[in-house]
């Protein structure tokens, strides 16, 4: 599992900053709550005496009016003496804290008016003067008929209005109002305010940092998406697979590998722009066929895609149906190369229905790739499902450990197939072909070996073993020439290069040992590989480009590495008698090779008719079952 650094993935920092923001918000809420609790306690202590005095005065006023037959407000209007007495009593209530004491009523129109005011003469309100209330809570007293405290907050003190109802016939007739203030405890207030301001400042800083993080995260996700997305097809690329393969739950998917058939012929015939268009349209078909948010599509490289189809309720048939629909939709689609012309494209698909039985994604992928290999060998344009029982029990399959044992026990051998001079029909070269003799004496072919060890060090060891076998054969037989196959990684492997350098020190070895390289995207784009091929040519080795025309043909590339021979892909040769495009492709390759002074070898020459046509087109050499089958013989 990869170590994830916060600095590389800002998403994790966002969670931390959010947590810090929540903590400080809770602290701010706590200080506000604390200030309210302190204020409430101060009100309770400071208002006790005032409330008691106010209630007593209200009771006294009520008693003085109880004998009246009129409304209390009317009685006070008509009785100046009583009103003056009440005002004198109210004035006695005024202190440094109690600012106002007054008696009011609400007239028929709902307007509050003064009846008595305990203020000084120059400040006293006159009888029936309108009183404007500044808080709707004044009206509550007429509904509740209970005393009411209204708080007015200021910075250094609390201003409070205490209202006492005076009832007549259980209705509020008058309201005694006392306005007083309470000084806050200034030191506590300062500390609480400082804490609040500090927390608010921190919260704003954190929010600012969070905004920056969000911006950074969006950029990060955009870059990540770009890094994980194949620019041509819009699906995931190999980077995505490398970063996530350890986290893919193989219990939830079936694994399929899809390869576009004869894609190299499309590139060579119509150009790379059309090839890119075919790739893009194929990806669109796959994307439109799979289930959104369930299945995963990855362009693995070149024309190969990996599809992870999600299993629903332990039913892998539903996932397999997705793969089958992809196969049919591609078959039924017309791929336009211009406004008028179109071609039909087919694909080969290998499926691993039980990837969860493998120890890792890589192992599961190799089994799907093995099935893909089988699909190609059976003529392409089909779906092949990996058969665990078949591959374990048949005589033609080996495990990785068995292949390792075969190398150690010298069970790796070479069969040789003749390469015939088209003019003289005599043997010019032998191609060394990998074989393994298993413990039961059965012969295991490369297609049952190479997919299993693909991407492992065992592949390098197999190459070194074949090199040593061919070297020994060349020393034994002084008059023959042998070709052997190298993969692109062999060309940049120091141990294999050193082995070839050592062989070249011996006279008449490198000139008789041909190196066959399957052209690939990796080889085309790797400067080190090109440089090493030129170095090997300088040592006397002949360079053969194998399966030319099968996928990545680049005629300029042939001149860059100055190859001596090209071997035209056998799948194209096998269709040359009935397929016009194959015929034109072979003809163009031969014509170009002659101009570039490169010799041409035709593969899969399995009949006299094909051989005669090849000679007519001017091919230099031929190889196929028409001449011989690979055999373990002493040449």
What is the per-residue pLDDT across 228-285, written as a single tens digit (0 to 9) for each? Answer: 888 889 899 888 888 888 888 888 899 999 999 988 888 888 888 999 999 999 999 9
What are the boundaries of each domain within the chain?
15-187, 238-392, 400-622
116 burial level (CB within 10 Å; 0-12, 13-18, 19+): buried
Architecture (CATH level 2) of domain 15-187: 2-Layer Sandwich (3.30)
- The residue that leads in pLDDT, 633 or 77, is 77
Distances (CA, A) of 459 to 302, 467, 469: 21, 12, 15
- Distance from C-alpha of 286 to C-alpha of 303, rounded to nearest angstrom: 13
- Distance from C-alpha of 445 to C-alpha of 394, rounded to nearest angstrom: 12
Distances (CA, A) of 439 to 162, 406, 448: 105, 9, 15
What is the per-residue pLDDT across 548-569, written as a single tens digit (0 to 9) for each? Answer: 876 555 566 666 777 889 998 8
Longest dimension (CA), the chain: 149
What integer pLDDT is reported at residue 559 of this predicted model?
65
What integer pLDDT is reported at residue 12 of this predicted model?
61
Work out the average pLDDT over 126-148: 89
- Distance from C-alpha of 175 to C-alpha of 165, rounded to nearest angstrom: 5
Are residues 565 and 544 in contact, defined by beta-carbon separation less than 8 angstroms? yes
Per-residue burial over 150-159, b if 16 or more Cβ lie within 10 Å, else e, is: beeeeeeebe
What is the per-residue pLDDT across 315-326, written as a single tens digit (0 to 9) for each? Answer: 556 788 899 999
Q: How many CB atoms lie within 10 A of CB 142?
A: 13
157-168 sheet: strands from edge to edge: 112-117, 98-106, 171-183, 157-168, 148-153
Task: List, by residue number, the catalytic residues.
Answer: 303
Which two three-digit tokens encode residue 515?
Answer: 């190196």
Which of 159, 136, 140 has its CA nearest to residue 148?
140
pLDDT for residue 389 is more than 60: no
Are residues 383 and 324 in contact, defined by beta-carbon separation less than 8 angstroms? yes
Which two three-digit tokens encode residue 424?
Answer: 């003289």
- The residue that leads in pLDDT, 421 or 379, is 421
Per-residue burial over 541-575, b if 16 or more Cβ lie within 10 Å, else e, is: bbbbbbbbbbbbbbbebbeebebbbbbbbbbbbbb
The full 3-state SS of 350-369, as one line of letters, equals EEECCHHHCCCHHHHHHHHH
Work out the average pLDDT over 200-224: 70
β-strands 157-168, 171-183 pairing:
antiparallel
What integer pLDDT is reported at residue 5 of this predicted model?
41
β-strands 513-518, 482-486 pairing:
parallel
Question: What are phi and psi for residue 169, nearest 5 degrees?
Answer: 55, 40
What integer pLDDT is reported at residue 616 of this predicted model?
92
Q: Is the dihedral of CA 581, 582, 585, 590 positive or negative?
A: negative
What integer pLDDT is reported at residue 6 of this predicted model?
41
- Whole-structure pTM value: 0.46
Work out the average pLDDT over 68-82: 86
- Distance from C-alpha of 531 to C-alpha of 523, rounded to nearest angstrom: 11
Are residues 98 and 50 in contact, defined by beta-carbon separation less than 8 angstroms? yes
Which two three-digit tokens encode residue 404?
Answer: 């390792």
Residue 552 CA from chain centroid, whole number:
29
**Which of the four CATH numbers 3.30.70.270, 3.40.190.10, 1.20.1560.10, 3.30.930.10 does domain 238-392 have?**
3.30.70.270
Which two three-digit tokens encode residue 253?
Answer: 């998917």
pLDDT band at 1 (very low <50, low <70, confident <90, very high): very low
What integer pLDDT is reported at residue 292 of this predicted model?
86
Which of 195, 156, 202 has its CA nearest to residue 30?
195
- Distance from C-alpha of 89 to C-alpha of 60, rounded to nearest angstrom: 10
pLDDT for residue 227 is more than 50: yes
- Distance from C-alpha of 565 to C-alpha of 598, rounded to nearest angstrom: 5
Which of 562, 535, 416 has its CA nearest to residue 477?
416
What is the per-residue pLDDT across 438-467, written as a single tens digit (0 to 9) for each? Answer: 887 788 888 778 877 776 778 889 999 999
- The residue that leads in pLDDT, 94 or 377, is 94
Rounded (to 5) percent helix, strand, coil in the chain: 50, 20, 30
Residue that has been written with the tokens 């399929």 in this structure: 256
- Distance from C-alpha of 24 to C-alpha of 199, rounded to nearest angstrom: 6
What is the per-residue pLDDT across 480-508, written as a single tens digit (0 to 9) for each? Answer: 999 999 988 888 889 999 999 999 999 88
Are residues 539 and 510 in contact, defined by beta-carbon separation less than 8 angstroms? yes
Fold of the domain built from segment(s) 400-622:
TIM Barrel (3.20.20)
Which of 559, 506, 562, 505 has its CA nearest to residue 533?
562
- Distance from C-alpha of 215 to C-alpha of 9, rounded to nearest angstrom: 13
DSSP-assigned beta bridge partners for residue 352: 255
What is the per-residue pLDDT across 2-19, written as a single tens digit (0 to 9) for each? Answer: 333 444 455 666 677 677
């Amino acid at each position: 599992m990869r170590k994830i650094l916060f600095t590389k993935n800002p998403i994790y920092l966002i969670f931390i900053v959010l947590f810090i923001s929540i903590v400080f918000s809770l602290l701010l809420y706590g200080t506000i709550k604390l200030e309210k609790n302190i204020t409430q306690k101060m009100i309770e202590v400071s208002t006790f005496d005032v409330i008691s005095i106010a209630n007593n005065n209200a009771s006294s006023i009520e008693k003085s009016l109880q004998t009246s037959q009129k409304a209390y407000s009317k009685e006070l209007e008509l009785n100046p003496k009583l009103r003056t007495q009440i005002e004198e009593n109210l004035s006695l209530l005024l202190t440094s804290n109690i600012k106002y004491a007054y008696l009011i009523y609400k007239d028929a129109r709902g307007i509050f008016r003064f009846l008595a005011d305990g203020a000084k003469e120059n400040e006293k309100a006159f009888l029936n003067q309108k009183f404007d209330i500044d808080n709707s809570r004044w009206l509550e007293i007429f509904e509740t008929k209970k005393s009411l405290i209204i708080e007015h907050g200021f910075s250094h003190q609390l201003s409070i209005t205490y209202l006492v109802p005076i009832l007549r016939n259980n209705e509020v007739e008058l309201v005694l109002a006392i306005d007083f203030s309470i000084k806050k405890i200034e030191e506590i207030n300062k500390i609480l305010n400082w804490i609040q301001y500090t927390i608010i400042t921190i919260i704003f800083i954190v929010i600012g940092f969070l905004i920056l993080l969000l911006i950074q995260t969006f950029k990060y996700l955009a870059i990540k998406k770009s890094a994980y997305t194949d620019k041509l097809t819009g699906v995931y690329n190999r980077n995505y697979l490398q970063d996530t393969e350890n986290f893919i739950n193989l219990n939830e998917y079936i694994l399929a590998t899809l390869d576009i058939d004869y894609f190299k012929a499309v590139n060579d015939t119509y150009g790379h722009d059309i090839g890119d268009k075919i790739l893009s349209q194929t990806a669109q078909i796959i994307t439109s066929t799979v289930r959104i948010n369930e299945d995963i599509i990855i362009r693995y490289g070149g024309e190969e895609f990996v599809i992870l189809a999600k299993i629903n309720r332990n039913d892998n048939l539903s996932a397999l149906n997705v793969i089958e629909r992809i196969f049919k939709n591609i078959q039924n689609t017309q791929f336009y190369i211009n406004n008028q012309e179109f071609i039909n494209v087919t694909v080969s698909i290998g499926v691993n229905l039980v990837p969860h039985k493998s120890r890792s994604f890589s192992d599961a992928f190799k089994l799907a790739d093995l099935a893909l290999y089988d699909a190609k060998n059976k003529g392409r344009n089909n779906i092949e499902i990996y058969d665990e029982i078949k591959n374990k029990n048949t005589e033609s399959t080996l495990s990785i450990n068995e292949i390792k044992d075969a190398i150690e026990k010298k069970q790796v051998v070479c069969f040789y197939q003749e390469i015939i001079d088209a003019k003289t029909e005599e043997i010019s070269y032998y191609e060394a072909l990998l074989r393994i003799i298993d413990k039961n004496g059965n012969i295991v072919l490369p297609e049952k070996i190479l997919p299993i060890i693909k991407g492992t060090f065992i592949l390098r060891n197999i190459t070194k073993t074949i090199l040593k076998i061919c070297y020994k054969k060349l020393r034994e037989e002084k008059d023959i020439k042998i070709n052997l196959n190298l993969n692109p990684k062999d060309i940049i492997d120091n141990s294999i290069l050193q082995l070839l350098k050592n062989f070249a020190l011996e006279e008449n070895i490198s000139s008789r040992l041909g190196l066959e390289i399957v052209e690939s995207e990796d080889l085309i784009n790797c400067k080190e590989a090109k440089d090493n091929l030129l170095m090997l040519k300088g040592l006397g080795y002949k360079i053969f480009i194998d399966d030319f025309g099968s996928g990545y043909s680049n005629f300029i590339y042939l001149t860059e590495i100055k190859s001596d021979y090209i071997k035209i892909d056998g799948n194209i040769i096998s269709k040359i008698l009935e397929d016009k495009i194959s015929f034109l492709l072979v003809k163009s390759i031969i014509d170009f090779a002659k101009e570039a002074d490169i010799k041409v070898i035709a593969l899969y020459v399995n009949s006299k008719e094909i051989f005669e046509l090849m000679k007519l087109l001017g091919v230099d050499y031929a190889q196929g079952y028409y001449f011989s089958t690979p055999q373990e013989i002493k040449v």
